[in-house]
Each structure stands twice: as C-alpha cells, then as structure tokens.
Amino acid sequence: MKTKIKIGRTIPFGYKIGKNSKILYPISTELEILKQTLIQIKSGKLSLRQASKEIQIKTKRNLSHPALLKMTNKKFPNWQIQVKKENLRIRDEKNRIKKLKILRIKEEREKKRLNKLSSQNRINKKCIICLKIKLLRYFPKLKTNRVRYCEDCYKLILKKSKRIKKKCSQCKKVKNLNGFSGSNGLIAYRQNHCRKCNIKRNLEWKKQNRDKINTYNKRYRMENPELIKKQTRRYYLKNREKLLEKKFEYNKKNKDKIRKKRKIYWNKIKNNKELYQKHLIKSRIYSKNSRLKDLEKARSDDKKYYYKNREKVIQRVMNWKKNNMDKVLKSRRRYNLRRNEVEGNKKSLW
Ligand SMILES: [Zn+2]
Ligand SMILES: [Zn+2]
C-alpha cells in the first residue's frame, strides 16, 4: 500500500497519521472492507446508508453516505443507472409471476364452475305439481339442489293450499296436504303415507316392539324420578275432577275385587308386628291429614256419629279408661294444676 501526503484538515478513511504529521499511512483491513462494500453498492445489494452503517459497525470509524457516493462514482462511473435497471428488471419479474398466479387461480375457478354446471346443463324443467315446463331459474334452490316443483307451487305448499293434492302410497287415496302429518307444508309434502296410515303403522310397530319400549321407559323413569313426579303432579292438578270421577266409577264397578284385595292385605299384616305398626302409623297420618283438610265437616260428622251410636261410644270410652287408668290420672292431675294456677292469678289481681 502506498503512503499519502496530507492535504486537508481531515484524515481520509483507511489512513492514519504517522510520526511525521504530513504523511498518511494506510490501514490494510479498513481499505479491504471499503473495497468490498463498494462492490456491493455497485451491484445493488446494499444501499448507501446501509453501507455506511455497516462500515461503522465493522471498523468503528465514521464514513458518511455522501462520501461513499463520491467514492463509488469515482471508481465505477454510471453505476447508478445499471442498479436502477436491475431493480426495474426484478420488479417486472415479480409482477409477471404475480399475474401468472392470478390467471391460474381464475382458470381453476372457471374449470370448477364449468364442471358443476355440466351436471345440470339444461335450461328447462317440468314442475311435478302443475306439470308446466318452465325456465330453470323459476325452481327454488333448497340447500344445494333445485327442487322438483316451481316457485308458485312452492308458495302454495308452504300455505298448505287446497289446490295441492297428494296420493297416499298405502291406502292409494288422493288427499289434501292437511291429511298428511307435519306442521310445515314442506314436511307434509315429502311424506309418503297419510296421517291415518302413519298412525296404523306406528301402532303395529309398538305392538311388535313392546319389550324394547318398556325397557326404554323403565330406564328413563329410573334416571329422572323428580321430573316424572313433577309431571304426574301437574297432570293430576289439571285433570283432578276427571280423575276422581274415574276412580269413583272404578270403585263402584269393582267392589268385590277391592274387598278381596283388602282381605289379602289384612291377612298378611295381622300376625306380623312390624308390618302392623307401619300400617298403623300410615293410617293415622292419613286420617289426620284428611281431617285437617276440612275440619268443620269432620266435626259435624263426628257429632252425627255420636248421636247415632251414643251408647256404643260411651261404652268404648269407659273400656279405654279402665284399661289406661294411669293416663287418666295423669291428665286429671295436669288439669287440676292448671285450674289452680288460673285461680291463683285471679286472686292476686284482687
Ligand atoms: Zn308448478
Ligand atoms: Zn293413507
């Protein structure tokens, strides 16, 4: 490397001052880096500002981008025009690829559309209800396929109009859409069997699959006991009078049956202490509740019974008293005590 004579005040990049302050000595590493960066700038890989930043990082010396521009102009005249051309070329290439991609996507879409159309490529269609031949666009599209009836007939079906009639495939009768089940006219139209035939079929199925239904119902009852309790309660409250009437009639008709049942039950309980106790508790609670429901009626009934069977009642009470003397004494004592207390209170007032 050659030495240089110092001309200006600043020290140029890649040189340092020796002992003699007029001579500049070259630094080989810095000059090598500068050479490489200049080549990179010329080829368009680095911009001027980027290059100046890189040089600062590598060598820890400042070199501004205008200075770099001067240097490259000196070394490679007309370099900027070539870089511009190169950039333009790259941009054009990118655009060309983009356009090609878009074109390919369009072509694929068109192909798909054509394939779809090819299956229903016709223009006309015959409506199966009014039997008129109409353009394809007058047939409504449900989900993906066009239906077999025209737009006007579609509206009539939705209304369950009387003009639309259908033949049941079971009984072969021509009926109005109201004769077919299904809340919506469309559902009614799609069904093959009329309502009566459907009911018949269902009943037959139920007869044949009795076990299946029973097991299902049993499982459902086991899984949702509270829900069924609620439902039965609601049903009872709604149809109470009807149910009671039914029960009354049944009891009237099957008096002997009920009596037999009771007798069997009584024989079962009679000699079993535990069962008998249970029965007693149950019956007491039941009678108490029924009395509480209509107290006045119960009292009047008691009175009537008493006047009718007076001697019987008195005899029964006497017998009970003889057998439970201690209870009688207890109650008497309690009664006396209470009376004394009341009288004492009266005296204290005076
Ligand atoms: Zn039609
Ligand atoms: Zn039918």
Q: Does residue 121 carry a pLDDT above 60?
A: yes
Q: Does residue 316 carry a pLDDT above 60?
A: yes
Ligand nearest to C-alpha 179 = 2
Ligand nearest to C-alpha 156 = 1
pLDDT confidence of residue 117: 57
pLDDT confidence band for 258 (50 / 70 / 90): very high
Q: Please give the distance, rounded to the nearest whole angstrom, from the Cα atom of residue 134 to the centre of ligand 1.
A: 8
Place of tokens 């269609």: 125
Q: Please give the distance, rounded to the nearest whole angstrom, from the Cα atom of residue 198 to the centre of ligand 1.
A: 27
What residues flank ion ligand 1 with Cβ within 5 A?
127, 129-130, 150, 153
Q: Is residue 174 a contact partner of residue 167, using CB atoms and an 8 Å limit?
A: yes
Taking only the tens place, the pLDDT of each residue in 41-63 is 888 888 889 888 988 898 888 88
Q: Is residue 148 a contact partner of residue 127, using CB atoms and an 8 Å limit?
A: yes
Q: Using alpha carbons only, what angle is made at residue 39 by residues 37 and 42, rounded to the nearest 5 degrees?
A: 110
**Residue 65 CB coordination number (10 Å):** 15
User: Exposed, middle or buried: residue 234 (CB in 10 Å: 0-12, 13-18, 19+)?
Assistant: exposed
Place of tokens 């009920």: 258
Ligand nearest to C-alpha 161 = 1
| Residue 49 backbone zone (phi > 0: left; psi -120 to 50: alpha; other: beta) | alpha
State the pTM of this model.
0.35
